[in-house]
């Protein structure tokens, strides 16, 4: 009976994400930040990924965008989830271009699970951008560190790598969204 009261892996990840991202908002649309990891996790759940991958999706930005410690995350959710999150976490000590190049290489050498979280993350980011663009127009690009040109540069480079290393319907979805993103003014 006592075990039933223990939160499962996904429940733990939801609690960590909600707590870590409390009061944060997304730069593209101003929505509560927690909507993003939930959307990424739902995309992966719909594709039939494991609880481990879904949990990692829920906390995929915790190390990068909060002060939640790596040791605590590993202890709370285990080594498998931690390795996925670590593989999709940008190195904030680097300049933007170097950070993005390193990210692409880490994901290239990462597991299928890390690739799944990374692609679902990119898909939701573009979907969010397109919603805001429909409302606000081209001024959306000012919210990004390097503007539209560099954002598209990163997306295309990431796509090239992911097409070489992972076969999954999410890759095709991502490619279609990049094409739509390029057409935005």
Give the active site residues. Answer: 64-65
> Does residue 35 contact residue 134 with C-beta atoms inside 8 Å?
no
């Amino acid at each position: 009976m006592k075990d039933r009261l223990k939160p499962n892996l996904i429940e733990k990840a939801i609690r960590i994400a909600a707590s870590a991202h409390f009061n944060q908002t997304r730069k593209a649309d101003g929505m509560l930040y927690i909507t993003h990891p939930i959307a990424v996790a739902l995309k992966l759940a719909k594709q039939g990924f494991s609880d481990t991958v879904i949990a990692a999706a829920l906390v995929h930005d915790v190390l990068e965008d909060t002060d939640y410690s790596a040791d605590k995350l590993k202890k709370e959710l285990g080594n498998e989830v931690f390795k996925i999150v670590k593989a999709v976490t940008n190195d904030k000590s680097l300049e933007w271009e170097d950070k993005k190049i390193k990210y692409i290489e880490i994901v290239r050498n990462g597991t299928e699970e890390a690739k799944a979280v990374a692609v679902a993350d990119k898909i939701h980011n573009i979907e969010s951008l397109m919603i805001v663009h429909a409302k606000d127009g081209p001024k959306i690009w000012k919210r990004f560190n390097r503007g539209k040109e560099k954002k598209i540069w990163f997306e295309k480079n990431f796509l090239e790598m992911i097409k070489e290393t992972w076969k999954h319907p999410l890759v095709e979805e991502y490619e279609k969204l990049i094409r739509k993103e390029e057409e935005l003014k």
